[in-house]
A = this chain, B = another copy of it.
């Protein structure tokens, strides 16, 4: 029997969509989930996502390396934000690090009670979808959005995942939100950069001189990594490991 793949457009809608999925793919393309993929692919041991500055500070006081981002910028007093390039720093290798971001870590927090959290982004799209197709489980893609609003880049990534899963023949979808993002992806894949030129968050980051980050985050299929939530830490799935 076919499994279901659906898309929830923002964390605020999660309760409307969350029932009946074994896997929740959390997506925050610009930049949290891209940075998490970059970190784990580059030897970071684990990333502890926390949803508030307060919790992040507690870890910092215990001596952890802690990243904190709000509204696209590193929060004062913290070591780094959510730039994927920070996560590739050799000093992070084999370390347990902590991260809080505006949208992505909040989305992880709300979804962890509903199913197995997996981290998705354009950078690990191919690895992720190949793995999802083999699992034979119902998959919900949760777009982190921007402060609870719909955003284009997460929706396009979710549309790509849904499209690839349905194309495999093993999945179906029913929701209008899923039809919508598949359509966006169909249009965007011709030229993702051109399509996203007008996106509100890309404009926001461009103002902050983050063009190098944007380019990294919007380049698909660079990393063969599947980060997943194991208790309260994000770690990289080994090839032989089975989650179910």
Measured CB to CB, the residues of A under 8 A from B are 9-10, 12-13, 16-17, 146-152, 155, 174-177, 179-180, 183-184, 187, 198-201
Chain A interface main SS type: helix
Given A148-B13, A149-B16, are A180 and B200 also a contact pair (CB < 8 Å)?
no
By a CB distance below 8 angstroms, the chain B residues around A151 are: 176
The quantity of this chain's copies bound in the complex is 2
Q: Cα distance A150–B13 when bound, in Å?
A: 9
CA A177 to CA B183, docked complex, whole Å: 14
Given contacts A149-B177, A176-B199, 8 further A-B contacts (CB under 8 A): A13-B148, A16-B147, A149-B175, A152-B176, A179-B198, A179-B199, A180-B184, A183-B183
- Give bound CA distance, A10 to B150, whole Å: 11
CB of A34, distance to nearest CB on chain B (Å): 18
Q: Are A180 and B180 in contact (CB under 8 A)?
A: yes
A198 to chain B, nearest CB (A): 6
Residues of B within 8 A of A187 (CB): 183, 187
- Residue in B closest to A10 when the chains form the complex, CB atoms: B13
Kindly list the 10 A-B residue pairs having the minimum CB-CB distance in the complex, ordered from nearest: A152-B176, A150-B177, A151-B176, A176-B200, A16-B149, A150-B176, A183-B187, A176-B199, A179-B198, A16-B148
Given contacts A176-B149, A198-B179, contact A9 B9 (CB under 8 A): yes
CA separation between A143 and B10, bound complex, in Å? Answer: 16
Q: Which residue of B lies closest to A187 (CB)?
A: B183
